[in-house]
């Protein structure tokens, strides 16, 4: 939370990141930096109602249920998604602020980032 001097370039190309900030952001990025998890994020986020049951997700992959469960846990631990059990099924939702935070890192200062 430092300079907001001019509108020039993405924060990441703007001033040196502190080691602490870099470590914290790397955790978020590492969670996102996997083909399966990117697809899970996009499937959850674009699902009608904004949430998806694990059973909706598993079939799209050639992976076992425990593997999908593992990837969901990685995303949840990083704070990119959250889960809720309703009866037999567990539903996952995107955490919008986490996504926004990633976007802000690479995007040239737009006022739209915190919107809606």
Partner DNA sequence: ATCATTTTTAGACAAGCTTCTAATCAGGGG
Partner DNA sequence: CCCCTGATTAGAAGCTTGTCTAAAAATGAT
Q: Which residues bind DNA (CB under 7 A)?
A: 30, 34, 36, 53-55, 58, 62-74, 83, 85, 87-90
> Which one of 1, 2, 19, 90 is in contact with its own copies (CB under 8 A)?
19
Cα 64 to the chain's mean position, in Å? 22
Residue 87: how many CB atoms within 10 A of its CB?
A: 5
Contact 45, 96 (CB under 8 A): no
Residue with smaller CB distance to DNA, 56 or 109: 56
47 vs 54: CA distance, rounded Å: 12
77 is a contact residue toward its own copies (CB under 8 A)? no
Interacting residue ranges for its own copies, rule: CB under 8 A: 8-10, 12-17, 19, 22-23, 25-26, 29-30, 32-36, 38-39, 41-46, 60, 94, 96, 99-100, 102-110, 112-113, 115-116
């Amino acid at each position: 939370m430092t300079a907001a001097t001019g509108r020039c370039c993405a924060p990441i190309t703007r001033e040196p990141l502190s080691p602490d900030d870099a470590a914290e952001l790397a955790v978020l990025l590492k969670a996102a930096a996997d083909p399966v998890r990117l697809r899970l994020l996009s499937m959850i986020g674009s699902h009608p109602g904004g949430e998806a049951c694990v059973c909706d997700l598993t079939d799209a992959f050639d992976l076992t249920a425990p593997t999908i469960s593992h990837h969901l846990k990685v995303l949840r631990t990083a704070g990119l998604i959250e889960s809720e059990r309703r009866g037999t099924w567990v539903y996952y939702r995107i955490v919008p602020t986490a996504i926004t935070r990633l976007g802000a890192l690479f995007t040239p200062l737009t006022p739209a980032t915190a919107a809606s």
